[in-house]
């Protein structure tokens, strides 16, 4: 037994199909003819065949039209697999598992190799993937139960989060490719990919990403990227095998320094490209395809998503925590989204303010409890209204009847109510809202805020100390500035940064009232109290920035 195993290993070591093919090109056919005859010979041992097929897989890119007889022989094995799984479905699962495993490349691009060598390796992988998809597509057509067995395998074989970003990218790309010929699996495949991205998101806290990128910038601060210093030969630019675009991206794109963020970025980039390509055909929006994708993913076609969220907010049977999350998503989306029209913003503010006034009508009793435990949803909606108005107020006042419409929201009643929402909002939001509404004489919040400041210092709701009356809302606005590099190109054109800051809004009053805005020292203290709050001086163009993850989720318990 040991002797046979040693012989097989020796044969595997000595076998070099690429050399055989090269010799054939030079006119030496002997080894090539022997190899082809062994492939079709029924008495060839299984162990030897395995060596030959493995070698053929590694040399796919070399099999041009000169090797049609060899390719024909290899296709016989594909036909055998198809006939086997159609005649004996017992072998279907094993066959599918074997195919899916080939979506996980064993050899990875290396920094030790040149760009051209790594590009050649990627091309070999791509050709392998194409062949695997051809077989999977054929199997799915002749064996109806293929999707039912394939999906659990795709889930089980999904590379673990610690695997290299290249492996993650290859697997995700191949999963998305499957949806083109087995469309019934598209929803489950997308859900699987989103689930894995969520797990990576949790492992990529915003603070860690920012620290990693800052450290990287410190190391590279003396390095200047100059395209003139890069030697790109004309042969590379025009080569059909190595396209200019992909080569340029290879030398120009720098990976995220945070490893998990890099994996998430690669996966997000593939997923967003796939989404875009499904929704647009030749640059034109395919509305039916977009609606189908929306129904499968329940993603944000803006008005439908906002309507879905608002129904959650106003439903008293929904848990408070989910109502607060829903209104935070609403406010962050309509504040940050460049694609959200002002008419949608005003409609949402109308709905939220109408709900707030009805809530106040129902809680006018003197015995009402003033704390987050009892009125968490109310305070979350208040903070969201203030946040949206701060972001979009310049556009609102540019409307023909913008000021009159703003007056109709009756902010003064909300801020002076017994529930005292300014006490429970994040300080930077309350301060900025007070500044904007004072400037336009829509509400006067300063006296209330000064009275609140004289009370006991608020504590974060997720902490163990303090009473319910002294807690403030946690910082949760999910659509904060996007940090991922590759996939950022899909997000940044659609993203609005805050235009202005508290110092500018309060400039007229700073001489008389030093305490009317938070200075850097106060904001530093606030950062210890409220996770994610930043100094205004550090983020002059976008200080309303709270999130702790690149874009998916991280929410502190506020119940």
- Cβ contact 424:376 at 8 Å: no
Out of 5-9, 239-243, 259-263, 433-437, least confident range: 239-243
* Per-residue pLDDT at 305 exceeds 70: yes
* Per-residue pLDDT at 60 exceeds 80: no
b/e 456-492 (16+ beta carbons within 10 angstroms → b)? eebbbbeeeeeeebbbbbbbbbbbbbbbbbbbbebbe
**Confidence tier at 301 by pLDDT (50, 70, 90):** low
What is the reported pLDDT for 475?
A: 55
Q: What is the DSSP string of 136-205?
A: HHHHHHH-TTHHHHHHHHHHHTSPPTTS-HHHHHHHHHHHHHHHHH-GGGHHHHHHHHHHHHHHHHHTS-
- The share of the chain scoring above pLDDT 70, in percent, equals 73
Q: Tell me the backbone φ, ψ of residue 315, rounded to 5 degrees.
A: -85, 110
Out of 92-101, 205-214, 233-242, least confident range: 233-242
Q: Coil, helix or strand for 472?
A: strand
Q: Is the dihedral of CA 191, 192, 198, 204 positive or negative?
A: negative
Q: How far apart are CA 181 and CA 146, in angstroms?
A: 12
Q: How far apart are CA 263 and CA 161, in angstroms?
A: 8
DSSP 284: E
DSSP 495: B
Q: Which residues contact 490 (CB under 8 A, 6 or more apart)?
A: 269, 272, 273, 276
**Confidence tier at 463 by pLDDT (50, 70, 90):** very low
Alpha carbon separation from 342 to 141, 228, 386, 394, 480 (Å, rounded): 49, 45, 16, 11, 20
Q: How far apart are CA 175 and CA 185, in angstroms?
A: 10
Average pLDDT, the chain: 75
Q: How far apart are CA 348 and CA 345, in angstroms?
A: 5
What is the reported pLDDT for 473?
A: 63
What is the reported pLDDT for 495?
A: 77
What is the reported pLDDT for 303?
A: 82
Q: Which residues contact 355 (CB under 8 A, 6 or more apart)?
A: 313, 314, 381
Q: What is the DSSP string of 403-465?
A: HHHHHHT-HHHHHTSTT-GGGTS-HHHHHHHHHHHHHTTS---HHHHHHHHHSPPPEETTSSS
Across the range 218-222, mean pLDDT stands at 54
Out of 110-124, 312-326, 468-482, least confident range: 468-482
Q: How far apart are CA 9 and CA 328, in angstroms?
A: 62
Across the range 352-362, mean pLDDT stands at 93
Across the range 286-302, mean pLDDT stands at 80
Number of Cα atoms under 13 Å in the Cβ half of residue 210: 13
Q: Tell me the backbone φ, ψ of residue 417, rounded to 5 degrees.
A: -65, 165
pTM over 0.75: no
Q: Where are the domains of the chain?
A: 2-141+149-154, 302-529
- Cβ contact 451:445 at 8 Å: no
Across the range 357-372, mean pLDDT stands at 78
Q: Coil, helix or strand for 552?
A: coil
Q: Coil, helix or strand for 252?
A: helix
What is the reported pLDDT for 61?
A: 74
- Cβ contact 379:359 at 8 Å: no
- Cβ contact 345:388 at 8 Å: yes
pLDDT digits (tens, 9 = 90+) for 387-418: 999 999 999 999 989 999 999 999 999 999 88
Q: How far apart are CA 265 and CA 483, in angstroms?
A: 9
Q: What is the DSSP string of 30-53?
A: HHHHHHHHHHH-TTS-HHHHHHHH
Across the range 132-153, mean pLDDT stands at 92
Q: Coil, helix or strand for 389?
A: helix
Q: Coil, helix or strand for 280?
A: strand
């Amino acid at each position: 037994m040991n002797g046979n195993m040693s012989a097989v290993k020796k044969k595997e070591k000595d076998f070099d199909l690429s050399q055989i093919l090269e010799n054939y090109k030079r006119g030496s056919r002997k080894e090539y003819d022997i190899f082809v005859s062994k492939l079709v010979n029924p008495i060839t041992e299984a162990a030897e065949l395995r060596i030959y097929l493995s070698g053929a897989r590694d040399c796919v890119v070399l099999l041009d039209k000169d090797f049609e007889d060899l390719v024909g022989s290899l296709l016989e094995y594909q036909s055998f697999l198809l006939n086997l799984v159609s005649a004996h479905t017992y072998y279907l699962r094993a066959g599918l598992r074997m195919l899916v495993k080939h979506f996980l490349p064993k050899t990875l691009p290396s920094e030790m190799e040149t760009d051209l060598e790594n590009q050649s390796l990627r091309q070999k992988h791509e050709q392998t993937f194409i062949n695997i998809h051809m077989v999977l597509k054929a199997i799915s057509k002749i064996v109806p139960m293929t999707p039912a067995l394939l999906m659990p395998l795709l889930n089980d074989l999904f590379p673990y989060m610690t695997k290299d970003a290249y492996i993650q990218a290859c697997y995700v790309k191949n999963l998305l490719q499957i949806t083109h010929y087995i469309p019934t699996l598209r929803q489950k495949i997308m859900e699987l990919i989103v689930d894995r991205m969520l797990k990576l998101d949790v492992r990529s806290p915003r603070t860690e990403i920012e620290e990693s990128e800052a450290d990287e910038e410190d190391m590279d601060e003396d390095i200047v990227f100059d395209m003139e210093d890069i030697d790109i030969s004309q042969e590379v630019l025009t080569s059909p095998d190595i396209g200019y675009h992909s080569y340029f991206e290879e030398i120009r794109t720098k990976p995220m320094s945070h490893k998990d963020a890099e994996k998430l970025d690669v996966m997000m980039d593939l997923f967003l490209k796939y989404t875009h390509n499904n929704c647009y055909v030749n640059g034109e929006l395919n509305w039916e395809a977009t609606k189908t994708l929306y129904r499968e993913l329940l993603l944000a076609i803006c008005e439908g998503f906002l309507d879905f969220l608002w129904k959650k907010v106003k439903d008293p049977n929904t848990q408070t925590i989910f109502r607060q999350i829903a209104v935070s998503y609403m406010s962050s989306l309509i504040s940050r989204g460049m694609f959200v029209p002002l008419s949608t913003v005003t409609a949402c503010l109308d709905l939220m303010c109408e709900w707030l006034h009805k809530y106040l009508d129902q809680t006018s009793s003197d015995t009402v409890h003033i704390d987050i435990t009892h009125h968490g949803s109310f305070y979350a909606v208040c903070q969201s209204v203030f946040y949206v108005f701060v972001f979009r107020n310049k556009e609102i006042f540019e409307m023909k009847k913008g000021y009159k419409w703003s007056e109709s929201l009756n902010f003064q009643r909300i801020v002076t109510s017994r529930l005292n929402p300014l006490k429970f909002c994040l300080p930077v939001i309350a301060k900025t809202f007070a500044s904007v509404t004072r400037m336009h004489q829509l509400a006067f919040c300063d006296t209330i805020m000064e009275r609140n400041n004289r009370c006991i210092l608020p504590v974060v709701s997720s902490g163990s100390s303090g009473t319910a009356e002294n807690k403030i809302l946690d910082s949760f606005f999910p659509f904060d500035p996007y940090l991922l590099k590759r996939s950022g190109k899909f997000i940044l054109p659609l993203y609005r940064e805050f235009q202005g800051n508290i110092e500018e809004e309060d400039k007229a009053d700073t001489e008389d009232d030093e305490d009317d805005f938070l200075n850097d020292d106060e904001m530093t203290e606030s950062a210890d109290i409220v996770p994610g709050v930043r100094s205004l001086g550090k983020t002059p163009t976008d200080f309303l920035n709270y999130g702790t993850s690149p874009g998916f989720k991280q929410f502190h318990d506020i119940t």
